[in-house]
Structure 1
Amino acid sequence: MNPQGIAVHVELRKALASRVLHTVTILVVLGIAVLSGTLVAAVLAGNEQINAKLGPLADETGWSLLTGVTAQITAAGALLAFGIALSWTFGREFTEGTITGLFALPVSRHTIALAKLCIHFLWTAAIALTLTVLVLAAGLILELGPVNGEALSQLARQAALTVLTGMIATPAGLAATLGRGPLPGIAVTLVILIAAQVTAVAALDTAAWLPLAAPALWALRPDTVHLGQLALVAIIPILFAALTGIAWRRLQLDR
């Protein structure tokens, strides 16, 4: 097995044993699915207060309503959760003092950093699949109608949104590295979250060109975001993965 494969295997074992990741996984998957289903159930029951708070989604029905509500919660809640998890993944090495041992390993620190990001992306993909299945189950329980082509398309966008949201959280890893702990990464995640929300509201006409806001906008209004604009999201994980790898390669035990 090559060094990258070894590093990925080790990071996978660490992730599987992590209570933090277990907790975040449960909160994201069950939390979003249950909250979305509960809100839609309240609307179907005629709760005008809940319906009034849905904004543009108040006029939607059936699967469009469920996937729209889920997308709104995912865009904010999952981003925060993914950022916290990634901040912990990188920051714990400093706060727990295990970073010193990494200097003695035959596998380079750059390789270890990339392995951490690989596990993060695999984890978010697994969450995306599981969450989508639970949303599908919620829709069937609520009897929102047949699962036709349009419903499947909306569910596919929900899965893609979750994966893209995990990509947007990538800067948290670099922040946790430079700040030598999880808190700087969490702070950067909050900044990303606020920037994405403000951009989507204040600059709706240009939000599709901004990688932080494009995924949520595409999930809710796919006709307003084309494939080229959505592809710009890839810039964030590519750029910050490279920067994080460089930061880990240049790490020094000076503080």
Structure 2
Amino acid sequence: MTGSRPLHGIGTAIAVEARKAVASRALQGITAFLVVGIVVLAVGAAAGAASGDERLAAKLGPLAGAGGWNGLVGVVAQVESAAALLGFGVALSWLVGREFADGTVAGLFALPIRRSTIAVAKLVVYLAWAATVAVLLTGAVAIAGLALGHGVTDAAASLLRIPALAVLTALIATPAAWAATAGRGLLPGIAATVALIAVAQVLAVVGVGGAIPFVAPALWAIEPDAATGWGLALVPVTALAFAGLCARAWSRLQLDR
């Protein structure tokens, strides 16, 4: 009775999806981009602003003159807010949409596991990978800060914002999973991610994004007072809603559409 329980075979599905993820060059490349790329961009931007580059200083705003761990973490958070959403969205689009792009989705209909269970397994593996990226990124920022001569006294309090922002950003990227399923491919998921970034940037600029779950994590990490509790509380709710939509879409997949 494989269809009697919605998550029957979830352990097997997670194990299979995890093996795919570990062997994926796409995820390896995205991991390197998110860990090394963000730190390099942030340190470079901070150094450029400190050297008197007016354009960089204008982009960083008050962070341009901040020093120590707070300054470094603030710049990292500013870069991370957009780069991580892009990276997580692309990764999730690949995890969910590759079955359509590679033409392997038809084979899933023959498996004794519900397709909705497979979708849930993909999301679980995605979250585990995102948590790993959060830890690696935090370690990379810590190493960069120590190399720049920052002390260890207030490091922990500042660094905690980095993994928190990464996990929150991973959660708000979940619409990419539903878009990749509805559009049956990677590109719709990536397009949805780019649209989220654009909308978030606009809402942040006009100053109404503090209560919006797609904007609140970045505002909180860069300027904690700018985000509202409601905005942050809606992040997991939004993630669960789109995860449910994704699982439902997978359960209704048909071979001819």
In the alignment, which residue of structure 1 is the partner of 2:114?
108
In the alignment, which residue of structure 2 is the partner of 1:130?
136
Give the conservation status (yes or no) of the 8 Å contact 2:211–2:228. Answer: no
Q: How does 1:154-233 map to 2 (within 5 A)?
A: 154-202=158-206, 204=207, 206-233=208-235
Deviations 1:156-186 (A, max 9, x none): 0111001111111101011111111100111
Give the conservation status (yes or no) of the 8 Å contact 2:50–2:65. Answer: no
In the alignment, which residue of structure 2 is the partner of 1:119?
125
> Which SS does the other structure have where 2:111 is aligned?
coil
Change in 2 beyond 3 A, CA 1:4/1:160: same
In the alignment, which residue of structure 1 is the partner of 2:245?
243
Structure 1 residue 148: Cα displacement: 2.4
Moved over 4 A (4+): 44-49
- Specify every segment of 5 or more residues in structure 1 that has no aligned partner in the other structure, as ranges: none
Matched residues in 2 for 1:192 and 1:246: separation? 22
Change in 2 beyond 3 A, CA 1:175/1:214: same
Deviations 1:51-90 (A, max 9, x none): 3432231231111111111111111011011111111111
* Letter in structure 2 aligned against 1:236: T
Match of 2:33 among 13, 27, 31: 27
Match of 2:10 among 4, 17, 22: 4
Matched residues in 2 for 1:115 and 1:130: separation? 23
* Letter in structure 1 aligned against 2:138: T
- Specify every segment of 5 or more residues in structure 2 that has no aligned partner in the other structure, as ranges: 1-7
Give the conservation status (yes or no) of the 8 Å contact 1:36–1:69. Answer: yes
Give the conservation status (yes or no) of the 8 Å contact 1:79–1:169. Answer: yes
In the alignment, which residue of structure 1 is the partner of 2:42?
36
Deviations 1:12-49 (A, max 9, x none): 00001111111111111110012212222334445555
Number of residue pairs matched by the alignment: 251
* Letter in structure 2 aligned against 1:24: I
Give the conservation status (yes or no) of the 8 Å contact 1:37–1:135. Answer: no
Structure 1 residue 228: Cα displacement: 4.2
Structure 1 residue 11: Cα displacement: 0.4
Question: For the aligned residues, what is the CA RMSD?
Answer: 1.7
In the alignment, which residue of structure 1 is the partner of 2:84?
78
TM-score, length basis structure 2: 0.93
Give the conservation status (yes or no) of the 8 Å contact 1:41–1:142. Answer: no
Structure 1 residue 50: Cα displacement: 3.3
Structure 1 residue 107: Cα displacement: 1.1
Match of 1:60 among 39, 63, 66: 66
Matched residues in 1 for 2:55 and 2:193: separation? 31
In the alignment, which residue of structure 1 is the partner of 2:256?
254
